Structure 1
Amino acid sequence: MLDVCLLGCGGMMPLPYRYLTALMTRFNGSSMLIDCGEGTQIAIKEKGWSFKPIDVICFTHYHGDHISGLPGLLLTMGNADRTDPLTLIGPKGLERVVSCLRVIAPELPFPIVFKEIEGAEQTFEMNGYRLKAFRVNHNVLCYGYTLEIDRAGKFDAKRAKEQGIPLPYWSRLQNGETIETENQVYTPDLVLGPARKGIKLTYTTDTRPTDSIKKNAVDSDLFICEGMYGEKEKAAKAVEYKHMTFYEAASLAQEAKAKEMWLTHYSPSLTKPEYYMDEVRRIFPKAKAGKDGMSVELMFED
Structure 2
Amino acid sequence: MLKLTFLGTSAGVPTKRRNVTALAIECLNPHASGLSKGNQPHSNSQNKKSRPWLLIDCGEGTQQQLLHTKLSLRQLTAICITHVHGDHCYGLPGLLASAAMSGRREPLTLIAPKAISALLDAFILHTELYLPFTLNFMSIEDLLSQEDNKSKVKIDLDNQHQLMIEVYPLSHRVPSHGFGITQTISRRTLNTDKLVANGVPASALWGKLQQGENVIAEDGQHLLSADYVHDDVQRTKVVIAGDNDTPECLSEAVMDADLLVHEATYTHEVMMAIQARNPDFDPMHSSAHIVGTFAQKMSLKNIILTHFSARYQSFDNPDSETPNMAYIRLDAQSVYQGNIWLAEDFAQYSVNGATDLVDNQAGSQKESRVQYVGSARSN
The bucket for the TM-score relative to the shorter chain is 0.7 to 0.9
Q: What amino acid is aligned across from residue 296 of structure 1 in structure 2?
A: Y
2:286 to 241, 244, 257: 244
Mapped to 2, the partners of 1:255 and 1:157 lie a distance apart of 42
Answer yes or no: is 1:84 the counterpart of 2:106: yes
TM, length-normalised to structure 1: 0.84
CA contact (8 A) 1:71 1:105 kept: no
Answer yes or no: is 1:108 the counterpart of 2:131: yes
CA contact (8 A) 1:229 1:235 kept: no
CA contact (8 A) 1:207 1:244 kept: yes
Mapped to 2, the partners of 1:235 and 1:192 lie a distance apart of 58
Worse-matched range after superposition: 126-135 or 236-245: 236-245
What is the aligned partner in structure 2 of residue 291 from structure 1? Answer: 344
What is the aligned partner in structure 1 of residue 11 from structure 2? Answer: 11
Deviating above 6 A after TM superposition, structure 1's stretches of 4 or more consecutive aligned residues are 188-192
Change (3 A) 1:199 1:191: farther
Answer yes or no: is 1:29 the counterpart of 2:81: no
Worse-matched range after superposition: 193-202 or 132-141: 193-202
Change (3 A) 1:169 1:89: farther
CA contact (8 A) 1:274 1:289 kept: no
TM alignment of 1:201-280, pairs within 5 A = 201-230=238-267, 232-235=269-272, 237=274, 240-271=282-313, 272-280=324-332
Q: What is the CA distance between 1:110 and its match in structure 2?
A: 1.2
What is the aligned partner in structure 2 of residue 62 from structure 1? Answer: 84
Q: What is the CA distance between 1:134 and its match in structure 2?
A: 0.6
Unmatched runs of 5 consecutive residues or more in structure 2: 28-49, 199-203, 214-224, 276-280, 314-323, 355-365, 367-379
Mapped to 1, the partners of 2:103 and 2:120 lie a distance apart of 20
What is the aligned partner in structure 1 of residue 36 from structure 2? Answer: none
Please report the RMSD computed on the Cα atoms of aligned residues, expressed in angstroms.
Answer: 3.2
Change (3 A) 1:236 1:202: farther
Q: What amino acid is aligned across from residue 267 of structure 2 in structure 1?
A: G
CA contact (8 A) 1:209 1:252 kept: no
What is the aligned partner in structure 2 of residue 125 from structure 1? Answer: 154
Larger Rg computed on CA atoms: 2
Change (3 A) 1:151 1:98: same
CA contact (8 A) 2:295 2:336 kept: yes
CA contact (8 A) 1:230 1:273 kept: no
Mapped to 1, the partners of 2:268 and 2:245 lie a distance apart of 16
TM, length-normalised to structure 2: 0.68
Q: What is the CA distance between 1:218 and its match in structure 2?
A: 2.3
CA contact (8 A) 2:267 2:331 kept: no
CA contact (8 A) 1:215 1:256 kept: no
Answer yes or no: is 1:147 the counterpart of 2:172: no
Q: What is the CA distance between 1:70 and its match in structure 2?
A: 0.9
What's the secondary structure of 1:225's corresponding residue?
strand
Q: What is the CA distance between 1:98 and its match in structure 2?
A: 2.2
Change (3 A) 1:100 1:235: farther
Q: What is the CA distance between 1:213 and its match in structure 2?
A: 1.0
Q: How many residue pairs align between the two structures?
A: 292
